[in-house]
Amino acid sequence: MKYISEFREQRLTERIAKRIVDIAKRIDREVKLMQVCGTHGMAILRYGIVDLLPPNVKIISGPGCPVCVTPDNYIDKAIAYIRQGFLITTFGDMVRVPGSESTLLQEKSKGGKVKVVYSTMEALNLARSLPEERVIFLGIGFETTAPTIAASISMAKEEGINNYMILSGHKLIPPAMRALVEDEEIAIDGFICPGHVSVITGSRVYEFIARDYHVPCVVTGFEPVDILLGISFLLLQIQKNEARVENEYGRVVSSDGNLIAKSIMNKVFIPGPSEWRGMGVIENSGLVIRKEYSAYDVETRYPVEVTSPKVDRGCRCGDVLRGLIEPPDCPLFNDPCNPSHPVGPCMVSVEGTCNIYYRFWSGRVNRKIKISGKTD
Ligand code: SF4
């Protein structure tokens, strides 16, 4: 795999890290760079990139995990459908995410119909082969997964399959980034934009952040050289008081993104308000199924009323998702909250910040060292 190894080359990594230190010396304050993608969060800890950064450069995590940002209310609705006899299909992580009073896995153990699938096509096939079942696919995720779900709806309509439906909880990243950058409590100096999402959206979609908020953005890949280069690009802009979108991941991401994927997504969905865990309802940050496809929208066809009581589990996922705290700052981190017994969604998914910290940072937590480089 020569191609990958080029992006892990040690001497190149060290040279870029040194360049980062040099640029950071010319910035006489702490700089907060937010990554908005669980895979970036994982790579940054896994490859020890934080160890290469100077003390005044802090990487904070944002809402880059689809499972984590899905609120209790969505899980509660899915559970309400299970209790009405619907067959719920979903990607694996969702079954362990706590709702207000139960999880999909607990419902399954009580006889509820829940099946983990690996693609929307598998869910559609299930509906095709079980015409007596009302099959719901849990439509969560960002711009990366929405096109495949749109394609499954389009295919179901063409084939006249009428027992396949979506519970749409899709989220769009740019409106969430706007909400984050407007949040003065967080005070973000630069964005490491999500690589996978950008493949679909293109890098142009972040231009409003640089233009309207004077916050630099960089699209990067997931290898150490990619991430370090991205950080160096951001720091150079900050040092020069500039703000624009730079694309370090040009081998995969274009300015306009994947036009075919965007076209199928726009054919089936329109943007609408959506609730994010920890961030509340953000205008135009969700995807609503268009009227022409309403037969595939389970909430239109079979509306459910769910009142989700506010449950205080002591979980601080909302603050983790806004980059206000690091997971070890949560009193429940590690004990009792860990991947085997997750208290909150950020510990469930492998893209969740708490889960990532648990796997790649726990040894340091015991030594009380934080990602910011400070020691307690
Ligand atoms: S450690 Fe657990 S309880 Fe704390 S914020 Fe993370 S998921 Fe929630």
Residues 301 and 266 in one domain: yes
Residues 297 and 358 in one domain: no
Query: In this predicted structure, what is the pLDDT of residue 372?
Result: 46
Tell whether 374 is covered by a domain.
no
Going from the Cα of 358 to the center of ligand 1, the distance in angstroms, rounded, reads 10
Residues 345 and 251 in one domain: no
Q: Which domain holds residue 181?
A: 1-311
Going from the Cα of 195 to the center of ligand 1, the distance in angstroms, rounded, reads 25
Looking at 311, 326, 346, which one is the last position of a domain? 311
Q: Which residue ranges have their beta carbon within 6 Å of ligand 1?
A: 315-317, 320, 327, 330, 332-333, 337, 343-344, 346-347, 354
Question: Could you tell me if 136 and 107 are in contact, meaning their C-beta atoms sit under 8 angstroms apart?
Answer: no
Residues 156 and 50 in one domain: yes
pLDDT digits (tens, 9 = 90+) for 211-247: 999 999 999 999 999 999 999 999 999 999 999 999 9
Mutate to test the pocket of ligand 1, among 67, 277, 315, 358 (most ligand atoms within 8 A of CB): 315
pLDDT digits (tens, 9 = 90+) for 165-213: 999 999 999 999 999 999 999 999 999 999 999 999 999 999 999 999 9
pLDDT digits (tens, 9 = 90+) for 59-107: 999 999 999 999 999 999 999 999 999 999 999 889 999 999 899 999 9
Residues 192 and 241 in one domain: yes
Question: Could you tell me if 231 and 192 are in contact, meaning their C-beta atoms sit under 8 angstroms apart?
Answer: yes
Residues 59 and 177 in one domain: yes
Residue with tokens 């989220």: 171
Mutate to test the pocket of ligand 1, among 317, 324, 361 (most ligand atoms within 8 A of CB): 317
Looking at 283, 311, 339, which one is the last position of a domain? 311
Query: In this predicted structure, what is the pLDDT of residue 362?
Result: 65
Residues 206 and 343 in one domain: no
The reported pTM is 0.92
CATH number of the domain where residue 268 is located:
3.40.50.11740
Domain count, the chain: 2
Residues 146 and 179 in one domain: yes
Residues 341 and 229 in one domain: no
Tell whether 103 is covered by a domain.
yes
Query: In this predicted structure, what is the pLDDT of residue 364?
Result: 63
Strands (E), the chain: 31-35, 57-61, 87-90, 114-116, 135-141, 164-170, 190-193, 217-219, 245-247, 269-276, 280-289
Residues 123 and 194 in one domain: yes
Cα distances (Å, whole numbers) of residue 277 to 136, 188, 260, 261, 320: 22, 19, 30, 27, 10
Residues 291 and 325 in one domain: no
Residues 338 and 240 in one domain: no
From edge to edge, which strands make up the β-sheet containing 217-219? 57-61, 31-35, 190-193, 217-219, 245-247
Going from the Cα of 72 to the center of ligand 1, the distance in angstroms, rounded, reads 14
Helices 146-159 and 259-268: crossing angle, nearest 10°? 60
